[in-house]
Every structure is written in C-alpha cells, then in structure tokens.
Structure 1
Amino acid sequence: MSHEIHAEIVANVMSVMVAEGQPVAEGDTVVILESMKMEIPVLAEYGGTLTKIAVKEGDVVQEHDLIAVVE
C-alpha cells in the first residue's frame, strides 16, 4: 500500500534528505522546507521504501502538493 506525503504549507524546498528507492522509517525526515525563515522538516508517517520524490531543492510547493510516495 502506498502513502503520499503532501506539503502542509506554501514553502521553498530547502533540502531533499532521501533518494528514490531508499528505505525510510516512520519519523524519518524526507525533505526540509523553508517558510518565513523557518526550517520545517517533513517526516515520513509510515515506514517503507521511498518510491517517488516529486520535488527537488529550490522548488516552491503549495499547500497539499505531493512531496513523496512511500510504499
């Protein structure tokens, strides 16, 4: 079963911490967003394999945009 990770706010993608195909555990940081000079870690809510990264460093995400998929 796949689980999508979405942005909760409008922000810049500051850093992508994982690569496609990499295993992640619940609570691992997937990306770090920057908004209003604050760094916001986006965490995996489920463990599994990261099958898709939909953003890259420097992208701007809107609220509810897809960030990654974990299976």
Structure 2
Amino acid sequence: MADEIRAEMVANVWKVVASAGDTVDEGDTLVILESMKMEIPVLAEGAGTLKQIAVNEGDVVQEGDLIAVIE
C-alpha cells in the first residue's frame, strides 16, 4: 500500500532532497518547503521506496497538494 505525503500549508518548494527510486526510512527528509522565511522539512511517514516526487524546486504548493508517494 502506498503512502501519499501531502502539503500541510501553502508554501514554496525550496529544495527537493530525495529522488524517485530512493529507499527512505521513517523521518527522512524528502523535500524542504519555505513559508514566511521559515524552512519546513517534509518527512517520510514510513519506510519504503520513493515511488514519486510530485513537486519541483520553485513550485508553490497548496494545502493538500501531493508532494510524494512512498511504497
């Protein structure tokens, strides 16, 4: 079963740290968002293989937007 990681707020995608195909552990940083001059890491919620990164650096995400999928 795949875990979908979604944005919790409106933010800019400052840095994409992980790539599709990477093996990740719970708590690994996938993407770093920037909002109101604060950096907010988006963490893997479980271990698995990163199937998809749905954002690119410079994108603006809205609350609920898909960021990544982990299988």
Q: Which runs of 4+ in 1 moved over 3 A?
A: none
Number of aligned pairs? 71
Matched residues in 1 for 2:33 and 2:47: separation?
Answer: 20
- TM (norm. structure 2) is 0.99
Task: Write out per-residue CA displacement over residues 14-67 of structure 1, whole angstroms, 9 at most, x where no aligned residue.
Answer: 000000000000000000000000000000001000000100000000000000
Q: CA deviation at 1:13?
A: 0.1
Aligned to 1:2: 2
Aligned to 2:52: 52
Listed as ranges, the gaps of 5+ residues in structure 2 are none
The percent identity for this pair of structures is 70
Aligned to 1:42: 42
- RMSD after superposition: 0.3
- TM (norm. structure 1) is 0.99
Listed as ranges, the gaps of 5+ residues in structure 1 are none
